[in-house]
C-alpha cells in the first residue's frame, strides 16, 4: 500500500521568494510520484512526475522536484514565486510496476498563498 504526507496544509511566501512544498511518501514497491496543481474552480493539472528515470524532475511553470529514496521524499520547489502560482498543490503516489498502477494515492494538499 502507498501513502503520502504533505507537511503544511498552508504555505505563504512573498512574490520572488523560494517556494518549497514538502511531500513524503510510503510505498512497499518502487513508486511513481506526481505533483498536481489545482487553481480555483478548475481540475487538477499535472505539474510533473517521477517515473524511475532522472531523480531531478522538471515540470511546467518553472517547478521542479527531486526524488530522494533515502529520505522517501519528493519535495516541490520553485526558485522565485509568482502571483499566478497561488493555488492548491497535491502530491500523489502510485506503484511503479505491476497491476493497479492507475490508483493514485493523494496527500491532503497544500494551499500556496503568494503575497505581493
Partner 1 sequence: NAGVMQNPRHLVRRRGQEARLRCSPMKGHSHVYWYRQLPEEGLKFMVYLQKENIIDESGMPKERFSAEFPKEGPSILRIQQVVRGDSAAYFCASSPVGAQRPHNEQFFGPGTRLTVL
116 forms part of the interface with partner 1 (CB under 8 A): no
1 binds partner 1 (CB under 8 A): no
DSSP 73-110: EEEEEESS--GGG-EEEEEEEEESSSTTTT--EE---E
Classify residue 17 by its DSSP letter. S
For residues 53 to 82, the per-residue mask of contacts with partner 1, x marking binding by CB under 8 A and - elsewhere, is: ------------------------------
Say how far apart CA 93 and CA 15 lie, in whole Å: 29
Region binding partner 1 by CB under 8 A among candidate stretches 23-31, 42-50, 60-68, 70-78: 42-50
Which own/partner pairs from 55-59 qualify as long-range (CB within 8 Å, at least 24 positions apart)?
A: 59/35
Q: Does 17 bind partner 1 (CB under 8 A)?
A: no
Least gap, CB of 62 to partner 1 (angstroms)? 20
108 binds partner 1 (CB under 8 A): yes
**CA–CA separation, 115 vs 33, rounded Å?**
29
Binding-site member from 12, 45, 80, 84 for partner 1 (CB under 8 A): 45
- Decide whether 51 or 77 has the Cβ nearer to partner 1: 51
Amino acid at each position: 500500500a502507498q501513502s503520502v504526507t504533505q507537511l503544511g496544509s498552508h504555505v505563504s511566501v512573498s512574490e520572488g521568494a523560494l517556494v518549497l512544498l514538502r511531500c513524503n511518501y510510503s510505498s512497499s514497491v518502487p513508486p511513481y510520484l506526481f505533483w498536481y496543481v489545482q487553481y480555483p474552480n478548475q481540475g487538477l493539472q499535472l505539474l510533473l512526475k517521477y517515473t524511475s528515470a532522472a531523480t531531478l524532475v522538471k515540470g511546467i511553470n518553472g517547478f521542479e522536484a527531486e526524488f530522494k529514496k533515502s529520505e522517501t521524499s519528493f519535495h516541490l520547489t520553485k526558485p522565485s514565486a509568482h502571483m499566478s502560482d497561488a493555488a492548491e498543490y497535491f502530491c500523489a503516489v502510485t506503484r511503479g510496476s505491476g497491476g493497479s498502477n492507475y490508483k493514485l494515492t493523494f496527500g491532503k494538499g497544500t494551499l500556496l498563498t503568494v503575497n505581493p
